[in-house]
Amino acid sequence: MRLNNHDLIFVILVGGKSSRMGEDKAFLPIGKKSNFVMILIKKIYFFTNKIFISLKQNQSILYDNWFPKDSIIFDQDNNLKGPLCGLLSTYQFLKNKNINYKAIFVLAVDTPYIRLKSIFRLIETFQKNPKSEGVFYVSKNGVEPLCAIYNRFTLESWSDENKHNQMFDFSLQKRINNIKENSIFLELPKNEERFMQNINTKEDLKLFQK
């Protein structure tokens, strides 16, 4: 399933602290010839080649030799925190570049085992409901904000609010709850839940590699 040119843009968030892992998760090896971020990119290529990498400025030395400079998005607002910083930095970057799109599909780099069908289901749902503010999975852990689709107009609204509201809330969970009436929530099939789990420690990784 290839996407139309102006449907979705994928962004992989790699700007987390990786404190429990002790090193940048993106380049953790999977097998002998791949790593977290390359596995995700190969999966996204089934749908589109419009892929961006969101990271902190101090990570640039690790990524400059791996990715084209025009695909790297640095955090653009030091006041923002957490994944929302990467999401809104991506929105601002695309706006500055006058790149046309309908929504952003966000993925966390520490979910390399995610199934293609989990990605496809979200895309298919958004294409049938392009005016929805977002499309999200719900699992036993609640809403999954980092394998999700965010409408461009939703991000525009959040970006404007961030500029004018000193009490801006950084919690993606709370923000998603505020747009739930105009969003779509899909139950994540139980046999796909394991593959969407974040790999936060080397013990987590060993469990997947067994």
Q: Using one digit for the tens of pLDDT, what is the confidence trace for 152-183?
A: 999 999 999 988 877 788 889 999 999 999 99
**Strand bridging mode 29-30 / 34-35:** antiparallel
Does 2 map to a domain?
no
Does 104 map to a domain?
yes
CATH number at residue 102: 3.90.550.10
118: its two tokens: 């989990």
Among candidate residues 147, 142, 78, the one with its CA nearest the CA of residue 110: 147
Please count the structural domains in the chain: 1
Q: How many percent of the chain have pLDDT more than 90?
A: 52
Does 82 map to a domain?
yes
CB-count burial class (<10 Å; 0-12, 13-18, 19+) for 25: buried
Does 21 map to a domain?
yes
∠ CA(173), CA(183), CA(88), 5° rounding? 55
Does 129 map to a domain?
yes
Does 1 map to a domain?
no
Does 3 map to a domain?
no
Between the two ends of the chain, the Cα-to-Cα distance in Å is: 31
Range of the domain at 191: 8-209
What pLDDT digit, counting tens, does each position of 37-66 carry?
Answer: 889 999 999 998 889 999 887 777 777 777
Q: For the beta carbon of residue 128, count every other beta carbon within 10 angstroms.
A: 10
Does 155 map to a domain?
yes
Give the pTM: 0.90
